[in-house]
Structures are given as C-alpha cells and as structure tokens.
C-alpha cells in the first residue's frame, strides 16, 4: 500500500497520515518550514453585543511563542553585547524579537495599553522629527 504522509516537525505539530489508493504511486513527504509564532484559536462564549436567539460569542486571546530560560539567557547575552556596542544586524533583529517576546510574556499588557503605547511612540517620533526639521531649518538659514 502506498502511503502519503506529511511530517510536521514545527510548533504547530501533529503528524497526518493519509492512505493512498493502490493505483496512485509515490510517497509524498512535505516538511513544512518552522512556524515561529501564531495566535491560538479558541472562542469564549460570553459577551454578545448583538442579538441572537442563542447565547453569544466572543473570541479569547493569546499568542503562542513561549518565553523560556534559554531565551532569557540569550536575551541577557545579547543585551550585554549591545551595551558594548558590537551587535551585528542579525543579532539586533534577534534582540528586538526577544525584547517583544519578553515584554509580552513577563509584562503582559491589554490591547488598549498596547495601542496607547503605539500612539505615544508615534506622537513622540513626530515630535522628534519636527524638532530635527526645526534645528536643520535654523542651522541652514544662519550658515
């Protein structure tokens, strides 16, 4: 019997096996790329803003990649290297990813808090840009 199999060695795991027919030949093996993050699918049935004859649905949250002692150690190592000013671009990207993960795992925030901080960052960046333009304008006018 021919067997079509899909190997899943990623975070979203579980192997699937499908029995093929006698006629169709060859084995199919797919090794998917490793999934780094995903949101978890579950719904909690509570608040319902609109009317249905049955009770309501609301989707509960959470993300998936786990903070671990290995990641914590890597975060410390990279932070130390960054303090010395010798991080590569790849390491910088890794540190940024770990910083986000650490924040969501160690200091979880609500959606509203996350959006408020985004707004604050956006306004601050706008302010910094405006000041830079202001300084540049005066510097060029006086030179």
Whether 67 and 102 have beta carbons less than 8 Å apart is answered as yes
Distance CA 100, CA 103 (A): 5
- The angle, 0 to 180 degrees and rounded to 10, between the axes of the packed helices 69-84 and 89-106 is 130
- Give Cβ neighbours of residue 79 (< 8 Å, ≥ 6 apart): 95
Q: CA 11 to CA 38: how far, in whole Å?
A: 9
Please report how close the Cβ of residue 134 comes to another protein at its closest, in angstroms: 24
Question: Which of 54, 88, 140, 141 lies at the binding interface for another protein (CB under 8 A)?
Answer: 54
* Ramachandran category for residue 115: left, alpha or beta (phi over 0 → left; psi -120 to 50 → alpha): alpha
C-alpha–C-alpha distance, residues 21 and 3, integer Å: 8
How many chain residues interact with another protein (CB under 8 A)? Answer: 49
Q: Is 109 in the site for another protein (CB under 8 A)?
A: yes
| Candidate residues 3, 28, 31, 63; the one interacting with another protein per rule CB under 8 A | 63
Give yes or no for residue 79 binding another protein (CB under 8 A).
Answer: no
Tokens 């199919």 locate to 28
135 binds another protein (CB under 8 A): no
Among 3, 30, 45, 130, binds another protein (CB under 8 A): 45
Shortest CB 62 distance to another protein, Å: 7
Contact call for residue 69 and another protein (CB under 8 A): no
Tell me whether residue 116 or residue 137 sits nearer to another protein (CB atom).
116
Query: Which parts of this chain interact with another protein (CB under 8 A)?
Result: 12, 33-47, 49-50, 52-63, 65, 93-94, 96-97, 100-101, 103-104, 108-111, 114-116, 118-119, 122
């Amino acid at each position: 019997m021919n067997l079509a199999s899909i190997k899943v060695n990623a975070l979203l795991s579980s192997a699937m096996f499908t029995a093929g027919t006698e006629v169709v030949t060859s084995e199919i093996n797919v090794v998917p790329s490793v999934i780094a993050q995903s949101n978890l699918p579950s719904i909690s049935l509570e608040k319902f803003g609109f009317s249905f004859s049955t009770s309501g649905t609301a989707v509960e949250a959470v993300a998936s990649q786990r903070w671990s002692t290995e990641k914590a150690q890597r975060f410390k190592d990279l932070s130390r290297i960054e303090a010395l000013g010798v991080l590569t671009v790849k390491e910088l990207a890794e540190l940024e990813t770990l910083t986000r993960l650490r924040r969501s795992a160690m200091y979880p925030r609500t959606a509203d808090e996350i959006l408020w901080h985004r707004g604050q960052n956006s306004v601050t960046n706008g302010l910094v840009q405006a000041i830079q333009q202001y300084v540049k304008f005066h510097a060029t006018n006086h030179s």
